[in-house]
């Protein structure tokens, strides 16, 4: 058997060490990824640590304390420079932060020849100006790749599938789905095909207690997260409407009822949550009358040119009613080829491990795309 | 805006011009693929035609008659040589035939630096010796890629998703699904959650009349097609049992009842089809008693080391009972990360356009993987 041609590991810097960042670190330090990528730097918002360490290697167990003890103040310019001047350059910059500061720098990072992989939705879902600047500085306009599979559906192959459909000449007619793990859980519990009278406020509180919501549940209930995901997908569909201001250009139904919109703190909002129960009970009652359930969905309807995030009603035997459990996402693509029956992808759309997997699978794609030129 | 860096088109030879081959041709001659790939040869089992033609270009409408009229006798050695010596080499060899002659040549084709993309299951599902020879001559052991996304689930992203799970360090526990569009249709009609007493023989005849089955329905009902797909997926799971003889190493339940196994021709088989009805009616009755439906499934159970193609019973509210319609495939991956709720992919798993899409999406992957070195 001929010996394998193994390209050199690709240097990687990981910024952001929250839940997802830690899971990325853990995957990158384990086989099979540990043979393909070489972590040269990790950083949180304040400090960075160059690797490898002169002493023992870092591990998922010890990196936090070593960073705190031996880290240098974070300097983004020098992080990028490490990746672009490394002997095995170009390297990969992982933005696992939630800020919009770093996405604003993607064009600069890419134009220095560095690749970008990120679960951060901000760069792809904000202004069209930033989106275009990122596109202009990345493949196929330059040799630098920028990938964000885990910005929609975490590790589920949503973005790659949409790209494949478009790249092979299919025509997208409609993309429809439950895009928020938090709102999936809340409505799967609140509105079941078989009925039930649980209060909306109770379901939200359980979801918060289980850690399914953001610290302030209004961040999920505002629908903003769903609108951002719709913005990211829309921009991959050549015939979808333009979104000059990104997610804010998308009509988005907020689930914070009018009666609670004047709550100034999350504490006050959570205390007064029952005041919104009547609104949701009525929505559920109306749906039930028609044999339907209530779900918070995102819809990209290419034919009518409408992109919306909203409460929708679905028949009790619809996949959005029956197939969903827990905090699963479900996304259906109706296309010229996949119609009348759509292509459907379903599964956990949130969680540190699966979100990290979306990031590392993008990295494997870059690895394979560079491999031929690095052999 | 900087001008796009556009790599030169990749030369392509397409062998096999049946339903899928024609759909591949049609996609390759249309945007966006027509800018990335240059068809340099098409061939059926007898004749080949070098392209471009000195006169008018070929189209999906005229290629058949031009090939018949101006084609030269097919010479496989010279086809491979065209792709390996082209000024824009290495090219892509598309095997859209159903034979096992060409798959036996993949190692040779790959070792001449040519890439292989195919919807033909034979190469990946036969002996381990051939499978290993193909692997040895392809990436990452050589710079030649070999892809077969459409060998399982046609255009559905089944193989890429499984590769991503494995490549990012997930552990596959179980893969389970309805892998045959034909058997999906037959059992969706025969065994419905709400019941019904249609005869098995009638459903098979309707399926044959609609063109959902092979000309001899026993080719679908033997389970061989499902076993081949299980073999292809198993080989991508490092911890799955070895299959020295490929699909024939997999226990496979045939749906040609014992009473009909002595039918010597497909005509005799179709005439005597009702003789098997009692067997299937009993299976359905047993399932119904337990509130279940009958489906023909493939299962790769990594924990128990079992790979099987068989009739299975599923609760009336299971996704295999409720979510399936028409000839959809549904495949669920239960992994360390995706459990207890699996990652599910569903949609048309057969048909010329979607099968061709699986082929052309593989080609796009090769295009992108070569692009960096071709800029």
* pLDDT computed for residue A373 by the predictor: 67
Treating both helix axes as pointing N-terminal to C-terminal, what angle do A19-28 and A352-374 enclose, rounded to 10 degrees? 40
What tokens were used for A358? 């979306």
Active site residues of A: 229
Residue range B3-15: mean pLDDT, rounded = 80
Alpha helices in chain A (DSSP H): 19-28, 63-70, 76-85, 106-111, 122-125, 128-136, 158-167, 181-190, 200-209, 218-221, 224-234, 266-271, 277-289, 319-322, 352-374
Give ∠ CA A308-A311-A312 in degrees, rounded to 5.
Answer: 90
In three state form, how does the secondary structure of chain B look?
A: CCCCCCCCCEEEEEECCCHHHHHHHHHHCCCCHHHCEEEEEEECCCEEEECCCCCCCCCCCCHHHHHHHHCEECCHHHHHHHHHHCCCCCCEEEECCCCCCCHHHHHHHHHCCCEEECCCCHHHHCCHHHHHHHHHCCCCCCCCCEECHHHCCCCCCHHHHHHHHHHCCCCEEEEEEECCHHHHHHHHHHCCCCCCCCCHHHHHHHHHHCCCCCCCCHHHHCCHHHHHHHHHHHCCCCCCCCCCCHHHHCCECCCCCHHHCCCCCHHHHHHCHHHHHHHHHHHHHHHHHCCEEEEEEEEEECCCCEEEEEEEEEECCCHHHHCCCCCEEEEEEEECCCCCCCEEEEEECCCHHHHHHHHHHHHHHHHHHHHHHHC
Q: What is the pLDDT of residues A112-130, one digit of tens each?
A: 999 999 999 999 999 999 9
Residues 12-41 of A with CB under 8 A from B: 27, 30-33
* pLDDT computed for residue B323 by the predictor: 79
Residues in A touching B168 (Cβ below 8 Å)? 27, 33, 357, 360-361, 364
Residue range B243-250: mean pLDDT, rounded = 97
CA distance A199 to chain B (A): 26
Residue range B224-239: mean pLDDT, rounded = 98
Residue B142 and residue A5: Cβ atoms within 8 Å?
yes
* pLDDT computed for residue A214 by the predictor: 83
Q: Which helix (H) or strand (E) holds A147?
A: strand A146-147
Residues 6+ apart with CB under 8 A from A257: A275, A276, A279, A280
B368 in contact with chain A, both atoms CB, cutoff 8 A: yes
C-alpha separations of B122 from B98, B101, B255 in Å:
8, 9, 22
Which residue spans within A262-339 are E strands per DSSP?
A: 292-301, 306-315, 328-335
Give A54's DSSP letter: S
pLDDT beneath 50: ranges in chain A? 1-4
Tell me how crowded residue B179 is: count the other CB atoms within 10 A of its CB.
28
Percent of chain A beyond pLDDT 70? 97
* pLDDT computed for residue A6 by the predictor: 59
Residues 6+ apart with CB under 8 A from A375: A5, A7, B143
Q: For A311, list phi and psi in degrees, rounded to 5.
A: -75, 130
- CATH class, domain B156-349, is alpha beta
Distance between CA atoms of A223 and B123, rounded to whole angstroms? Answer: 48
Name the residue facing A170 among B160, B337, B357 (closest C-beta). B357
Mean pLDDT, chain A, whole residue set: 93
CB B348 within 8 A of CB B328: yes
Distance between CA atoms of B204 and A69, rounded to whole angstroms? Answer: 71
Can you tell me the ipTM of this complex?
0.95
Active site residues of B: 229
Domain spanning B8-153+351-371: CATH 3.40.50.720: yes
Distance between CA atoms of B100 and B281, rounded to whole angstroms? Answer: 37
Residue B5 and residue A319: Cβ atoms within 8 Å?
no
| pLDDT for B2 beyond 50 | no
Q: Say if residue B17 carries a ligand binding annotation.
A: yes
Residue B1 and residue A136: Cβ atoms within 8 Å?
yes
Domain ranges of chain A: 8-153+351-371, 156-349
CB A282 within 8 A of CB A189: no
Residues 309-348 of B with CB under 8 A from A: 317, 319, 322-323, 325-326, 328, 337-338, 341-348
Task: Give the residues across from A42 on adjacent strands.
Answer: A14, A49
Residue B157 and residue A136: Cβ atoms within 8 Å?
no
Confidence of residue B219 (pLDDT cuts 50, 70, 90): confident
- Using CB atoms within 10 Å of the CB of residue A270, give its burial: 0 to 12 exposed, 13 to 18 middle, 19+ buried: middle
pTM over 0.90: yes
Residue A289 region by backbone torsions, left for phi larger than 0, else alpha for psi between -120 and 50, else beta: alpha
Mean pLDDT, chain B, whole residue set: 93
What tokens were used for B231? 């073999």
């Amino acid at each position: 058997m001929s010996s394998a041609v193994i390209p050199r590991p690709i240097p990687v810097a990981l910024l952001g060490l929250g839940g997802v960042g830690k899971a990325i670190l853990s995957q990158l330090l384990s086989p099979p990824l540990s043979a393909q990528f070489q972590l040269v730097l990790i950083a949180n918002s304040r400090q960075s640590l160059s690797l490898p360490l002169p002493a023992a290697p870092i591990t998922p167990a010890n990196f936090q304390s070593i960073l705190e003890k031996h880290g240098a103040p974070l300097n983004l310019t020098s992080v990028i420079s490490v990746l672009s001047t490394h002997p095995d350059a170009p390297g990969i910059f992982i933005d696992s932060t939630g800020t919009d500061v770093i996405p604003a720098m993607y064009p600069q990072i890419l134009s220095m020849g560095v690749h970008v992989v990120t679960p951060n939705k901000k760069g792809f879902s904000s202004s069209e100006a930033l989106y275009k600047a990122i596109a202009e500085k990345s493949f196929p306009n330059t040799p630098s790749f920028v990938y964000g599979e885990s910005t929609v559906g975490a590790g589920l192959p949503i973005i790659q599938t949409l790209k494949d459909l478009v790249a092979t000449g299919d025509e997208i007619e409609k993309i429809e789905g439950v895009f928020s793990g938090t709102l999936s859980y809340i409505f799967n519990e609140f509105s079941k095909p078989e009925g039930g009278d649980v209060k909306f406020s109770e379901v939200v509180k359980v979801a918060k207690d289980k850690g399914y919501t953001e610290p302030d549940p209004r961040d999920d209930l505002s629908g903003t997260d769903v609108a951002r995901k719709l913005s990211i997908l829309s921009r991959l569909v050549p015939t979808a409407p333009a979104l000059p201001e990104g997610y804010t250009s998308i009509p988005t139904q907020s689930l914070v009822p009018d009666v609670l919109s004047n709550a100034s703190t999350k504490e006050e909002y959570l205390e007064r949550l029952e005041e919104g129960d009547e609104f949701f009970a009525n929505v559920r009652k109306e749906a039930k009358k028609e044999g339907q359930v209530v779900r918070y969905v995102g819809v990209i309807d290419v034919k009518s040119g409408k992109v919306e995030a909203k409460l929708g009603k679905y028949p009790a035997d619809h996949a959005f009613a029956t197939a969903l459990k827990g905090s699963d996402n479900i996304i259906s693509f109706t296309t010229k080829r996949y119609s009348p029956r759509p292509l459907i992808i379903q599964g956990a759309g949130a969680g540190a491990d699966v979100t990290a997997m979306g990031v590392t699978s993008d990295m494997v794609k870059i690895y394979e795309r560079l491999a031929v030129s690095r052999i």
